[in-house]
C-alpha cells in the first residue's frame, strides 16, 4: 500500500483484515508512507501489531508507485553481472531473515 501517513482511515481499513485474519492470510503485505508524513503514534501501534513492514519516503504517492512499477525487471541465467548486482542489493537492503520469519 502506498499512501500518505495522514490518511489514517485508509490505513486502518487496510490493516483491519490483517489484524483479524490468521497470520498466513495477508491483504496488506507492506506500506509505504509518502510525502514524509508519519502516521499518528496510535496508528503505528496498530501497524506494529499487524506485523506489516513500513517505509517512509519524502516523494508523493504517484512518483513512488511509478518508481516501483518501473523497478520490476527480469533476470536471465546468462546475465551474471545483473544477477550479482541484484544479489548485492538484496543483501544490503532486504531483511531476508525477517521475511523468512513471516513465512
Q: Over its length of 103 residues, how does the chain's per-residue pLDDT go in tens digits?
A: 999 999 999 999 888 877 777 666 677 888 999 999 999 999 999 888 888 889 999 999 999 999 888 877 778 889 899 889 888 888 888 888 877 776 6
> Same domain for 17 and 65?
yes
> Same domain for 59 and 96?
no
66 vs 12, 41, 56, 63, 72, CA distance in Å?
24, 28, 16, 5, 11
> Same domain for 83 and 65?
no
User: What pLDDT score was predicted for residue 23?
Assistant: 65
User: What pLDDT score was predicted for residue 17?
Assistant: 78
Domain count, the chain: 2
Q: Which three cell numbers stand for residue 65?
A: 508507485
User: What pLDDT score was predicted for residue 15?
Assistant: 86
**Domain limits at 100?**
74-103
> Same domain for 46 and 31?
yes
> Same domain for 39 and 79?
no
Which of 16, 49, 8, 56 is closest to 32 using CA atoms? 56
Pairing mode, strands 54-56 and 31-34:
parallel
Amino acid at each position: 500500500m502506498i499512501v500518505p501517513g495522514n490518511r489514517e482511515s485508509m490505513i486502518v481499513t487496510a490493516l483491519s483484515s490483517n489484524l483479524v485474519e490468521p497470520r498466513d492470510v495477508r491483504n496488506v503485505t507492506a506500506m509505504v508512507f509518502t510525502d514524509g508524513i508519519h502516521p499518528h503514534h496510535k496508528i503505528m501501534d496498530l501497524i506494529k501489531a499487524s506485523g506489516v513492514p513500513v517505509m517512509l519516503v519524502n516523494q508523493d504517492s504517484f512518483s513512488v508507485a511509478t518508481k516501483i512499477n518501473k523497478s520490476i525487471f527480469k533476470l536471465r541465467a546468462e546475465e551474471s553481472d545483473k544477477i550479482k548486482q541484484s544479489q548485492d542489493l538484496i543483501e544490503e537492503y532486504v531483511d531476508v531473515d525477517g521475511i523468512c520469519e513471516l513465512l
